[in-house]
Amino acid sequence: MVEFSQDDEQARLTCRFSGELRTNECMALQEKVALRVTSFLEACGRDGPEPRIVFDLKELTFASSFFIRIVLSCVQRVGRKHFTVIHASDFMAGLFRTVGLSEVLKG
């Protein structure tokens, strides 16, 4: 499951993930997240602060490795310095480190 919140002033899209995201759930979420990111980036335009995407994993209990595909697609859209993951469990933090994305991890 994912819930979106957008802060237009800060040009920030927060995606709050919850529950267990097994491969099938991730496959279903991939398009939903991609469409939301696209509409967010279009709304940001070229004036103002650079867009940032935050993945909040506080309520996420499990995610398959397919979840990394969703992460990578967002990183490609906004760049590593404008993408952040917060509240990652030890398991998820380890997964991010394994795939070379440790710099996106925050608190």
50 contacts 7 by C-beta, under 8 angstroms: no
Q: Which residue has the tokens 């795939």?
A: 99
Closest to 74 (Cα-Cα) out of 13, 27, 24: 13
What predicted TM-score, i.e. pTM, was given to this entire model?
0.93
3-state secondary structure 2-70: EEEEEECCCCEEEEEEEEEECHHHHHHHHHHHHHHHHHHHHHHCCCCCCCEEEEEEEEEEEECCHHHHH
Superfamily of domain 2-106: STAS domain (3.30.750.24)
Question: For residue range 44-100, what is the model confidence (pLDDT) as tens digits?
Answer: 877 778 999 999 999 999 999 899 999 999 999 999 899 999 999 998 999 899 989
Give me the residue spans of the domains in the chain.
Answer: 2-106
Taking the C-alpha atoms of residue 8 and residue 43, their distance in angstroms, rounded to an integer, is 8
88 near 105, Cβ under 8 Å?
Answer: yes
Give the model confidence (pLDDT) of 2-35 as tens digits: 999 999 889 999 999 999 999 999 999 999 999 9
